[in-house]
Amino acid sequence: MVKIIRFTCIVLLFISGIGHSQQAQLHFSPATTTVSQFDTFTVQGVIQDVADLHAYDVIVSFPNAYVECLSAETAYFLGFLTFFYPIIRNDLGEVQATEALLGVGGVSGSGALFNLKFRALAEGAGDLLYDYFVLRDSQNQNIPVTVFPGQVIVGASQPVEFGKTVAEGWNLLSLPLEINNRHYAAVFPPAMQGTLYGFNGSYFPLDTLELFAGYWLRFAEADTFTITGQKRTSATISLEEGWNLIGSLSGSVAMNDIDDPGGVIIPGTLYGYENTYLPADTIHQGNGYWLRASAAGQIVLSASPNLPRRPPQRLSLPAENPARAIRISDSRGASQILYLDAAAADPAISESYTLPPLRRAARSMRGLPETAARLRRQRQLFRCRRFTIP
């Protein structure tokens, strides 16, 4: 079976009145793409030597036994502003783009029309084809064009190694590679027995790690492990309303690069854990993270293997009102900021100031929700050894 990608694009451009003295060429770049299983890659639809282009309509077929289409986006042909509305239907084997607006008139030259992002599913090879193509000029006349096929070759994914360092005590982590034996004792042999916990609205114990999920796991001492498996560089993750414990890919994902089509992510609510919760702007390989959603929905992650680690960023209240925030630190140097009446500063972002659920209890994760609820009903006292007024 072959999946079909269809683009129906209206291209309104600046330059008009140019004849078709030579035939345009429509091809893919790169012409041949060689990848490994589970890799993500991008292929461009490229036009060369076109004159007075006003609109185009193409159907692209690809070998869906070996790859799947993740996205279709405009390439801003010749730098013109474009509105591009694709609809991806992998169940039907097609992606439709109903319009691309680049100004008025027609345009001439060479460049990329669109970008197709794929994920390699299985070993094999197949062709990328323009099964249907119509290019029209500003006078609504057909533009003669010659098309050239492309090719995709998917090879076996080669095993890679990843070194994971854990701290003494509880760690928030994830499985970054596809492996055969996902039992926590096989992946992290020194982990304390019976201390793997996931989260689905409340904590629950389990024995097996799943890809793209985050977990609590406890260790008696700091250690470093080597995990060997196949890379997974993209994933679609389902979120529930409220807090979600998510995992990582085989590489880093910047918060700004997460595809959130439903707009369900609450800004400023990505948190990692290093003896305390820390705000994060990047999902790093092998770590687990809390993320809060305003409603149920799906997000798409695509990894960048060499993304640098950036310092945590915190939301801040207005500088002219520093009394609205208190920083609380413990004897180990771990600290958090307590925001006072954040909603009064800006009610629209009040949820961005919330913290994730409490981590595991001192001896057992079981009964944690009830324990936390009981503590919230009681008056909690703490001793303040020092305070500083700005």
* pLDDT at residue 370, rounded to an integer: 34
Residue 29 pLDDT: 95
pTM of the entire structure?
0.62
- Fold type of domain 3-155: Immunoglobulin-like (2.60.40)
Parse the chain into domains and list their residue ranges: 3-155, 160-302, 322-377
pLDDT of residue 95: 74
The predicted structure's pLDDT at residue 353: 61
Mean pLDDT for back-to-back runs of 10 residues, the chain (390 residues): 51 42 88 89 92 84 90 77 72 68 72 90 90 84 93 88 94 93 94 94 94 95 93 90 95 90 92 90 95 94 57 41 60 61 53 69 39 38 48
Question: Would you give the distance in Å from CA 276 to the centre of its chain?
Answer: 24
Q: What pLDDT, on a 0 to 100 scale, did the predictor assign at position 339?
A: 59
**Cα(26)–Cα(112) distance, rounded to whole angstroms?**
10
> So what's the pLDDT on residue 211?
93
Q: List C-alpha distances in Å: 65 to 7, 61, 116, 176, 317.
A: 21, 12, 17, 25, 52
Residue 36: the pLDDT is 87
Residue 332, pLDDT score? 60
- pLDDT of the residue at 156: 80
Amino acid identity for residue 215 in this structure: Y
Query: How far is residue 52's CA from residue 75's CA, in Å, rounded to a whole number?
Result: 18
Dihedral sign of CA atoms 273, 276, 277, 280 in order: negative
